[in-house]
């Protein structure tokens, strides 16, 4: 007897919780353009702003959206301090969750969020969109294949200058600061390249507030040891108060991979290159936001797809906490 399993090919119906600048400029359009996905609903602090991203319906409150039985998955792009409460609320409401980075403001909360997702049988992922970039995916593949041998040294920066005075990124109570906002990217960059069981240690860290109540610049030195005993070290810089820079370099016992432009983490609708042991690999223009939503949705529908492992977000959160402790 042959059994035929039906495949759910219906679009994943997304609900947006929060409609700030990122949703208005990038993520809403990514869903509208994507395949197998639909911007079904949105909720913001006011209905007019929610309507600006052209959802199928506008909900008066976040809770109303979570109570909508037709919403399959939610995308959370609130201030950082609101991430964890709404991750929990969304999971309890039976929704899959894609949450903007940082996932939460502590390693304990991040761990708890993933535990709840597993308990509820739901998918949860941190929306560190650069991880879905084909160029970043290629770097991960190359390192896994041994293109540089054993990784020994890592250097990555994400810096720029200028945050509006009324922006939540300058408010510590809302999870502001350069480390939480842009330092997440370089940290995810190295954690994605090394095995899950790798041990990390922050050997030094410094933070400069530049007269504000949050870190405007954070620098850290990190060392690691992989399960097979290979050791390495790296440096990351995150800043709201420096010349724009997005460097990425991984050097190993047998080679080196680097990104030659200053868009290591923000390559969006633009072509880019990768230098692999002196050879150039080129990548066409894509929209990693769209890829992120499409891949997450395919995972929901059991159609393949890829999302980072929960351990990656947990490990990054642990490193962030150690950097904060060292810098203070």
Q: Buried b / exposed e across 127-146, counting CB within 10 Å, b at 16+?
A: bbbbbbbebbbbbeebbeee
DSSP, collapsed to helix, strand or coil, labels residue 231 as strand
Q: Distance between CA 32 and CA 15 in Å, rounded?
A: 12
Active-site hit among 95, 101, 219, 298: 101
Known active-site residue 101: yes
Q: Buried b / exposed e across 250-279, counting CB within 10 Å, b at 16+?
A: bbbeebbbbbebbbbbbbbeeebebebeee
Q: Buried b / exposed e across 157-190, counting CB within 10 Å, b at 16+?
A: bbbbeebeeeebbbbeebbbbbbbbbbbbbbbbb
8-state DSSP, 157: E
Q: Could you list the active site residues?
A: 101
């Amino acid at each position: 007897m042959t059994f035929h399993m039906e495949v759910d090919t219906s679009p994943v119906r997304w609900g947006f919780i929060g409609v700030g600048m990122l949703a208005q400029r990038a993520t809403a359009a990514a869903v509208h353009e994507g395949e197998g996905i639909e911007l079904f609903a949105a909720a913001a602090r006011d209905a007019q702003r929610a309507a600006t991203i052209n959802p199928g319906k506008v909900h008066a409150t976040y809770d109303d959206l979570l109570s909508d039985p037709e919403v399959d998955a939610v995308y959370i792009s609130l201030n950082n301090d609101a991430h964890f409460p709404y991750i929990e609320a969304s999971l309890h409401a039976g929704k899959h969750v894609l949450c903007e980075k940082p996932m939460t403001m502590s390693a304990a909360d991040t761990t708890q969020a993933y535990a709840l997702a597993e308990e509820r049988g739901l998918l949860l992922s941190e929306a560190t969109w650069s991880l879905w970039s084909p160029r970043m995916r290629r770097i991960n593949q190359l390192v896994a294949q041994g293109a540089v041998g054993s990784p020994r040294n890592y250097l990555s920066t994400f810096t720029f200058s200028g945050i509006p005075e009324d922006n939540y990124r300058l408010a510590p109570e809302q999870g502001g600061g350069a480390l939480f906002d842009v330092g997440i990217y370089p940290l995810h960059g190295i954690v994605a390249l090394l095995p899950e069981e790798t041990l990390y240690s922050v050997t030094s860290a410094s933070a400069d507030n530049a007269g504000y109540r949050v870190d405007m610049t954070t620098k850290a030195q990190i060392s690691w040891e992989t399960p097979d005993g290979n050791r390495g070290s790296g440096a990351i810089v995150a800043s709201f108060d420096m010349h724009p820079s997005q460097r990425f370099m991984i050097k190993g016992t047998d080679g080196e991979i680097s990104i030659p432009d200053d868009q290591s983490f923000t390559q969006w609708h633009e072509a880019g290159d990768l230098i692999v042991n002196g050879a150039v690999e080129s990548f066409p223009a894509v929209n990693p936001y769209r890829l992120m939503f499409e891949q997450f949705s395919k995972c929901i529908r059991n159609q393949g797809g890829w999302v980072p492992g929960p351990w990656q977000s947990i490990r990054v959160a642990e490193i962030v906490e150690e950097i904060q402790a060292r810098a203070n």
